């Protein structure tokens, strides 16, 4: 199988290639990964490869089936494209269940792609489960989600799960440069680092300007963590009250700055963040123990985010946890 437009994730590629080449794709495949990690691109590639008529590497991109899939009008690929909130309700899912028994139009198989199924309530997941429990032989499902813990265990037990990971920074940098040729190498590389090697997020961040805002805000926040009083930190955090998109990038960049400061404490300069001055100031101000606690605090805050806690409460916790970790 070939993976045009989908980078990194070599192990995932090997697994999928063995499925496609052996013509034994699982009936229900779940692709797990953060926003921007290529879940949808991969889901479409798998369906395209599954229906490709070529005897060589799939998807060939040239056969009639590949051309229809590319144009988004293959009769044997059904995909919920957007408006998940209205589609992932009981009635549309019941209709989908009935349509499951429609035979393939021109292929041996039919694919149903349901992205971001974490938007389904438990009740709706239970309707989906009914289809997954007894799928006709010709029907294959490709589901995607952010995190498998958001799904019912009964759904998970029916799926083969594939987890996507971030892409190595140098490779991510090259791809960002290819997609946004006007971006400088430095910006592309910094965006790849700030967005943790998640290419889709880096592209979005550069395009909508949130990358610049993260670059500006995170170093200021890092310095505010060690400021004499907590007012500066509260004031800066308030910027993320409305601009929620900044939070993940800011946490990623803070982790890099704290890490660089810790490395500098050992006398080595090996910066991963684009803010070496900030790391230097923190290295002078904080003890290694505090820096280690700050790094693990970022991890804790990330997992709190995944639990979708109230945003205002989250920002308050962010302030207090960082101040405590810095021994303030």
Q: Does 298 bind Zn ion (CB under 5 A)?
A: no
Residue number with CB closer to Zn ion (70 or 94): 70
Burial per residue of 167-193, b for 16 or more beta-carbon CB atoms within 10 angstroms, e otherwise: bebeebbbbbbebeeebeeebbbbbbb
Residue number with CB closer to Zn ion (52 or 167): 52
Question: Which region among 54-62, 244-252, 259-267, 285-293 touches Zn ion (by CB under 5 A)?
Answer: 54-62
Question: Which region among 27-35, 63-71, 162-170, 285-293 touches Zn ion (by CB under 5 A)?
Answer: 63-71
Question: Which region among 57-65, 90-98, 177-185, 228-236 touches Zn ion (by CB under 5 A)?
Answer: 57-65
Q: Does 2 bind Zn ion (CB under 5 A)?
A: no
Q: Which residues contact 8 (CB under 8 A, 6 or more apart)?
A: 165, 166, 167, 168, 171, 172, 197
Q: How far is the CB of 19 from Zn ion (least distance, A)?
A: 17
Task: Pick the binder of Zn ion from 2, 17, 54, 126 (CB under 5 A).
Answer: 54
Q: How far is the CB of 45 from Zn ion (least distance, A)?
A: 11
Question: Which region among 36-44, 49-57, 228-236, 258-266 touches Zn ion (by CB under 5 A)?
Answer: 49-57
Q: Does 57 bind Zn ion (CB under 5 A)?
A: no
The Cβ of residue 26 has, within 10 Å, a number of other Cβ atoms equal to 15
Number of residues engaging Zn ion in binding (CB under 5 A): 6
Q: Does 60 bind Zn ion (CB under 5 A)?
A: yes
The answer to whether the Cα torsion of 245, 172, 292, 276 is positive or negative is negative
Q: Does 272 bind Zn ion (CB under 5 A)?
A: no
Q: Does 227 bind Zn ion (CB under 5 A)?
A: no
Q: Which residues contact 18 (CB under 8 A, 6 or more apart)?
A: none
Residue number with CB closer to Zn ion (63 or 171): 63
Question: Which region among 64-72, 121-129, 136-144, 311-319 touches Zn ion (by CB under 5 A)?
Answer: 64-72
Q: Does 47 bind Zn ion (CB under 5 A)?
A: no
Q: Does 87 bind Zn ion (CB under 5 A)?
A: no
Q: Does 317 bind Zn ion (CB under 5 A)?
A: no
User: Between the CA of residue 271 and those of 124, 174, 184, 190, what are the distances in Å?
Assistant: 47, 20, 19, 11
Residue number with CB closer to Zn ion (63 or 263): 63
User: Between the CA of residue 302 and those of 12, 52, 305, 315, 318, what are the distances in Å?
Assistant: 24, 40, 5, 12, 10
Q: How far is the CB of 1 from Zn ion (least distance, A)?
A: 11
Query: Residue 160 pairs with which residues in a beta bridge?
Result: 29
Task: Pick the binder of Zn ion from 66, 172, 282, 286 (CB under 5 A).
Answer: 66
Beta strands in the chain (DSSP E): 28-32, 77-79, 110-114, 139-145, 160-163
Residue number with CB closer to Zn ion (60 or 156): 60
Q: How far is the CB of 44 from Zn ion (least distance, A)?
A: 13
Q: How far apart are CA 244 and CA 202, in angstroms?
A: 16
Q: How far apart are CA 94 and CA 4, in angstroms?
A: 34
Burial per residue of 123-162, b for 16 or more beta-carbon CB atoms within 10 angstroms, e otherwise: ebbebbeebbeebeebbbbbbbbbeeebbeeebeebbeeb
Task: Pick the binder of Zn ion from 2, 41, 63, 161 (CB under 5 A).
Answer: 63
Residue number with CB closer to Zn ion (54 or 87): 54
Q: How far apart are CA 111 and CA 31, in angstroms?
A: 14
Residues that bind Zn ion (CB under 5 A): 52, 54, 59-60, 63, 66
């Amino acid at each position: 199988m070939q993976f045009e437009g989908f980078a990194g994730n070599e192990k995932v590629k090997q697994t999928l290639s063995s499925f496609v080449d052996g013509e034994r794709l699982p009936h229900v495949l779940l692709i797990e990964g953060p926003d921007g990690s290529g879940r949808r691109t991969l889901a479409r590639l798998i369906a395209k490869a599954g229906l490709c008529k070529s005897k060589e590497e799939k998807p060939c991109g040239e056969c009639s089936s590949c051309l229809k899939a590319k144009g988004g009008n293959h009769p044997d690929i059904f995909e919920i494209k957007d408006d998940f909130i209205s589609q992932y309700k009981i009635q549309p899912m019941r209709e989908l269940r009935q349509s499951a028994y429609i035979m393939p139009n021109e292929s041996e198989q039919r694919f149903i792609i349901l992205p971001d199924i974490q938007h389904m309530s438990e009740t709706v997941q239970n309707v989906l489960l009914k289809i997954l429990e007894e799928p006709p032989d010709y029907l294959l499902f490709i589901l995607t989600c952010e995190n498998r813990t958001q799904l019912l265990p009964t759904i998970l037990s029916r799926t083969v799960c594939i987890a996507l990971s971030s892409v190595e920074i140098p490779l991510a940098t090259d791809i960002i440069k290819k997609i946004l040729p006007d971006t400088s190498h430095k910006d592309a590389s910094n965006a790849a680092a700030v967005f943790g090697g998640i290419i889709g997020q880096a592209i979005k961040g550069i395009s909508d300007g949130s990358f610049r805002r993260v670059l500006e805000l995170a170093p200021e926040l890092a310095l505010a963590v060690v400021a004499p009083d907590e007012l500066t930190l509260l004031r800066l955090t308030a910027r993320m009250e409305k601009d929620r998109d900044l939070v993940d990038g800011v946490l990623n960049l803070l982790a890099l700055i704290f890490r660089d400061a810790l490395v500098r404490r050992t006398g080595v300069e090996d910066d991963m963040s684009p803010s070496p001055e900030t790391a230097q100031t923190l290295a002078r101000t904080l003890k290694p123990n505090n820096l280690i606690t700050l790094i693990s605090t970022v991890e804790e805050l990330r997992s709190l985010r995944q639990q979708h806690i109230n945003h205002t409460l989250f920002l308050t916790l962010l302030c207090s946890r960082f101040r405590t970790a810095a021994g303030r």
